[in-house]
Amino acid sequence: MSVLQFPSSTEKILPDAIKLVWPPTELQNPAAIEAISGSLVGLAIGDALGASVEFRPQEYLIAHPVRDMKSGGTWGLPAGKWTDDTAMALCLASSLITQKGFNPYDQMVRYKWWYKHGYLSSTGYCFDIGNATRDALEEFNHRQKKLKRYVNCRTESEVDQLSFDIIQRAGFNVNCSRPGVAGNGALMRFAPVPLFFYRTPSLAVELSGESARLTHGDDIAIDACRYYGALIVAAIYGERKETLLSKQFYHQYREWFDRRELHSEILRVADGSFKRLGGYYDGIRSTGYVVNTLEAALWAFWSANSFEEGALNAVNLGGDTDTVAATYGQLAGAYYGYRNIPEAWKRKLYANKLINCIAAWLQVLGRSDINSSEQRLSRSITSPIQLPQPMYMNIPQSRKVESTISEPPQRDPHKKRSRSIPRHPRSGISYWAHLNSRYSGDRKT
C-alpha cells in the first residue's frame, strides 16, 4: 500500500505542493474520518482565524471583532494561512504516519526541521515560535551534537535518521524541557496523537501527555493534554456535548487515565471552572499559560451552539488568539464533524486537501493493538553502528518513554468499572463494536 510521503528537511516543498496519496477507500471508516478531519481541519481553521489578530488585546477585538479569516495583521499572512500551531501539528502527524506509531525522537527531529528549515510551515520558514518550544528545540539540538559524536555519525542527517531503538540504547533523553514549563505550546499541536490512537483510549490519553513532555515538562502542561486528549477521543466516539462538559466526565472515564490522578489545576478545569456566562468579564483569559488556554477553549465550546460561533468566541477574547482558537478547534471539530465547519472557511484554508489527506491516514494507520504500537515505537533498523556503554545525558531522566506504552493498565477487580465507550449517534450502534468487527484484522511560553 502506497502511503502519503512527506518531503525531507532539505526539500523546499510547501505543504500545498506535496503530492497527495489517499488511503484505499475500503480501509476508511467514514464516521471516524468525519470526526478526525473535523478535529485536524478545526485546529488549522482556528489558527488561521486568530493569526491576523494574535496578541491584540480584548479591547481591540471589541472595536474590531473578527467575523471571518483576514489577511495582514500580526504576521502579514494571506487569509487562510496558519502559524506554528498547525505547522507543529502537521510535523507530529507526519511522524505518526511515517513511523506508523509513536516515536518521540522522530517527532523532535521534525519539530527541529520546522524551526531550522520551515518544514511544513505555510510560508516555508519558521516565523512564530513560543519561548518554551524554542528552548526545548535548542536543547535537543545541543544533545544531538553530543549524540552525533557518540555514535560516530558523519552528518546531521544521519543522526536525524537514527532509529528509536538506537536512541534508547544510547540513553538519549528526548524530553528536553523541565518542571515549571507550563505554556500552551504543546496543547495547541497535540491532536494527531489522540486521532491516531483513538481505538485504545487509555493509550491515546497517556501518549497525549508524553507528546507534551518533549517540550513542556511541567505536570500541568502534560495533564492538560491528557485531559483534552480524552475529550477528543470521546468526541470521536460521539459522546454528547453535555457529558463532555460535565464535571462527571473525568470520573466516568477514569479508566482511561490509568492510576495517575490529574493535576489539581486541571481537575479544577474538569470540574467546570470554564463555565462563566460573562466570558472575559468573568475572568476567562487568553494567555500563554496552559490552564488559561484550556479554560478559554472549553469556554468557547460551552458558550456556543456551532463550530463557527465557538471559533469566533475564542478569537474575540484577544490575546493568544490563534492558539486558543486552534485548541478549541481540535475538540469542536471532532464533536461537530468536518461537514459542519463553514464551507467558506474550508475553501480559504491553506493546504486544506493535504490536511484532509493526513486525517484520513491517521484514521487508517492508527491501531488499537498496544503491543503493535510498542513494537513500532521501539523497532530497530539495520545499522552498522556499534554502541559502547550507554551515554546518558546530564539532565536526569525522570521517566523512560518506553515505560509509558509497555502494556495495558491492570484493572483493580474490586474497583467499580467506569464507562468505556459511548454509543455513537452517527451510526446508531456501538461504534466500538462496529470498529472491532470491521477492522479486527488490523502561546506561547
* Cβ partners under 8 Å of residue 227, min gap 6: 250, 262, 266, 269, 270, 294
**Cα torsion through 172, 174, 179, 183, rounded to 10:** 160
For residues 173 and 394, the answer to whether their CB atoms sit within 8 Å is: no
Smallest CA-to-CA distance from 133 within 211, 56, 59, 202 is with 211
What is the DSSP secondary structure assignment for residue 418, as one 8-state letter? P
C-alpha–C-alpha distance, residues 71 and 76, integer Å: 7
Length of the chain counted residue by residue:
445
| Grid cell digits, residue 348 | 480559504
Tell whether residue 128 is among the known ligand binding residues.
no
Tell whether residue 133 is among the known ligand binding residues.
no
Tell whether residue 287 is among the known ligand binding residues.
no
For residues 14 and 314, the answer to whether their CB atoms sit within 8 Å is: no
Encoded amino acid at 241, one letter: K
Tell whether residue 404 is among the known ligand binding residues.
no
Tell whether residue 83 is among the known ligand binding residues.
yes
3-state secondary structure of 424: strand
Q: For the beta carbon of residue 13, count every other beta carbon within 10 angstroms.
A: 14
Tell whether residue 200 is among the known ligand binding residues.
no
Indicate the annotated binding residues for Mg(2+): 83-85, 320, 322-323
Indicate the annotated binding residues: 83-85, 320, 322-323
